[in-house]
Amino acid sequence: MTAPTPAPPAPGTGSAPYAAPTWPAAFAERYRAAGHWEGLTFGAMLRGRASAHPDRVAVVDRAGPGGTRRSWTYAELDLRADRLAAGLAARGIGAGDRVVVQLPNVAEFLEVIFALFRLGALPVFALPAHRESEITYFCSFTGAVAYVVPDTHAGFDYRTLGTTVLARCPELRHVLVAGGDAGPFEALSDVPAEPVDLPDPDPSAVAFLQLSGGSTGVPKLIPRTHDDYVCSLRGSAEICALDEDSVYLCVLPAAHNFPLSSPGSLGTLYAGGRVVMCPQPAPDVAFPLIQDEGVTVTGLVPPLALAWIDAAPGSAHDLSTLDVLLVGGARLSDEAARRVRPALGCTLQQVFGMAEGLVCYTRLDDDPRTIVTTQGRPISPDDEIRIVDDADEDLPVGTTGHLLTRGPYTIRGYWNAPDHNARAFTEDGFYRTGDLVRLTPSGHLVVEGRAKDQINRGGEKIAAEEVENHLLAHPSVHDANVVGEFDPYLGERSCAYVIRRRGVEEVRALALKRFVRDRGLAAYKVPDRIVFVDAFPTTGVGKISKKDLRAESADT
């Protein structure tokens, strides 16, 4: 059974219909009947929590004047979302419109996305590290009508980026700035208006576009519906034992799928708990917040977990409220996993997830060995897992192979990418994760490697092809190949092998790195190392062998 792929939207129409394959009717019926899809939109979810406990605190940050504490109750967040939705509607933003949201970890992140959910407009989740190259692409590919940024963050002026992007994207009508000084644009704080009646969107409609880690030239966009995402929130909140007393510290960039939903800020709001936005992940910023806010649960990528493990024993801060540390996004070594409880005094919960859907957790009551050595098991009994060889044949349990998955919160296709979808999904709708895994007899997954052409730089994903294309744009570069190599802190870093063009001025590594950065690529994608070579190793059939390049980089 292959899901139909509707035609892409007509270019140049801000509110053009979006197109992505969806679940076939029989699956949708099954997921509804099983209660996976409960017909709840994000807007209704927040409204429900706000009427059940209006005075409980929903979100806390340190983004008040001079870095002071702010805190909004559920009733306040709910009202703010209504007021912002009304103001956006008055500016012509409505159902189906796309809005690129690039905010750091501040309370406005939640205000903005819930306002857009209420309108049925689709947030496109950019990361603060993205620059002109990525943002221009997101805006033009989605036909976004608005772009929401902070004034400055981590020493970078997003208003300048706004000016550039606005000039390059004709459909973009609004740049809205959160923070003190909007510069030439409208301040987000000036937008809210008297709430208006808005129809609740269809829960089976796309609610937002998430970014894929990617293995191709440009990032793919992932359409997530209210129904499917709420399913993963409910499962995550349950598995991570969240309740109204949970306090979740949002350390990783709030828009990423892990801190958003595993269980993340949205899972915490689903459970009626409190979200604390952490402006930076360093222990000297996060530890005081854990102490002062009584944080009970948080999520980190492995390099940050290592930094926290090293810093905790010497820290004067009381971390005793912390019950659970989730670690995921990249493989956590067994050795580091073993150190979590002794150093931080909390339970480790490994999480292996992907913005496309499937999320696996070790369970809080799993035996210590399972917690330390596996990446967990899926949220839902209806998550279907296949582990196959190169010919898509199922492998015996315990054998490492390609992970394919299908289920109630795993997408059936990327947004407007029919050619790519034909490769990334099987005929019968399984997503090809690109991960190499094996299954233990207890049904837990162990991530053994990766088949996709991607570098996992401490949880930040880099599509080799995207960086190669930028390198190839340099007049002195004849050919380029980017591979991952071992890094003791990040797990993996990127290394570009470059063949120089003959007869033109020779380019040096530093200049080439600067060239890539100046093309407006996020800093984490700039190759960590550049090695100039005369030729690339090839396979038997003459294709370039990235495997041999990786082996070469391990020897140097």
Interface residues with ligand OOB (CB under 6 A) are 213, 257-258, 262, 328-331, 350-355, 359, 375, 433, 435, 447, 450, 456, 461
Residue type, 358: L
Q: Residue 145 or residue 330: which is nearer to ligand OOB going by CB?
A: 330
Q: HEC states along 408-471?
A: CCCCCCCCCCHHHHHHHECCCCCEEEEEEEEECCCCCEEEEEECCCEEEECCEEEEHHHHHHHH
Q: Residue 369 or residue 502: which is nearer to ligand OOB going by CB?
A: 369
Q: Residue 191 or residue 447: which is nearer to ligand OOB going by CB?
A: 447
Q: Residue 297 or residue 351: which is nearer to ligand OOB going by CB?
A: 351
Taking each helix axis from N to C end, the angle separating 509-518 and 464-472, rounded to the nearest 10 degrees, works out to 110
Q: Report the half-sphere exposure of 279 (CA within 13 A, side-chain side).
A: 16
Structure tokens at 162: 């706004």
Interatomic CA distance for residues 500 and 478, integer angstroms: 5
CB of 352 to ligand OOB, least distance (A): 4
Q: Residue 209 or residue 512: which is nearer to ligand OOB going by CB?
A: 209
Q: Residue 162 or residue 213: which is nearer to ligand OOB going by CB?
A: 213
CB of 512 to ligand OOB, least distance (A): 27
Rounded to 5 degrees, what are φ and ψ at 165? -65, -40
CB of 447 to ligand OOB, least distance (A): 4
Taking each helix axis from N to C end, the angle separating 226-239 and 264-271, rounded to the nearest 10 degrees, works out to 80
Q: Residue 169 or residue 494: which is nearer to ligand OOB going by CB?
A: 494
CB of 109 to ligand OOB, least distance (A): 17
DSSP state letter for 41: -
CB of 53 to ligand OOB, least distance (A): 27
CB of 182 to ligand OOB, least distance (A): 31
Q: In what order do the strands lie in the sheet with 377-378?
A: 70-73, 57-61, 274-277, 247-250, 297-300, 324-328, 347-354, 357-361, 377-378
Q: Residue 85 or residue 521: which is nearer to ligand OOB going by CB?
A: 521
Q: Residue 179 or residue 328: which is nearer to ligand OOB going by CB?
A: 328
Of the candidates 86, 57, 99, 97, the one whose C-alpha atom is nearest the C-alpha of residue 74 is: 57
DSSP assignment of 206-264:
EEEEEEP--SSSS--EEEEEHHHHHHHHHHHHHHTT--TT-EEEE-S-TTSHHHHHSSH
Point out the residue whose Cβ comes nearest to ligand OOB.
353
CB of 339 to ligand OOB, least distance (A): 16
DSSP state letter for 189: G
Interatomic CA distance for residues 212 and 390, integer angstroms: 23
CB of 187 to ligand OOB, least distance (A): 32
CB of 270 to ligand OOB, least distance (A): 15
In this structure, the strands spanning 431-439 and 401-406 are: antiparallel
Q: Virtual CA dihedral for 328, 330, 334, 337, nearest 10 degrees? A: -30
Q: Residue 108 or residue 435: which is nearer to ligand OOB going by CB?
A: 435
Instruction: Give, in degrees to the nearest 5, the angle at Cα 351 between 346 and 353.
Output: 160
Q: Residue 58 or residue 359: which is nearer to ligand OOB going by CB?
A: 359
CB of 475 to ligand OOB, least distance (A): 33
Of the candidates 265, 14, 240, the one whose C-alpha atom is nearest the C-alpha of residue 143 is: 14
Interatomic CA distance for residues 48 and 78, integer angstroms: 10
CB of 265 to ligand OOB, least distance (A): 13
Structure tokens at 219: 């990032």
Q: Residue 239 or residue 530: which is nearer to ligand OOB going by CB?
A: 239
Q: Residue 188 or residue 454: which is nearer to ligand OOB going by CB?
A: 454
Interatomic CA distance for residues 131 and 246, integer angstroms: 34
Interatomic CA distance for residues 403 and 384, integer angstroms: 10
CB of 355 to ligand OOB, least distance (A): 4
Those residues with Cβ within 8 angstroms of residue 538's Cβ, 6 or more apart along the chain or in another chain: 544, 545
Q: Residue 129 or residue 166: which is nearer to ligand OOB going by CB?
A: 129
CB of 328 to ligand OOB, least distance (A): 4
Interatomic CA distance for residues 552 and 465, integer angstroms: 19
CB of 455 to ligand OOB, least distance (A): 11
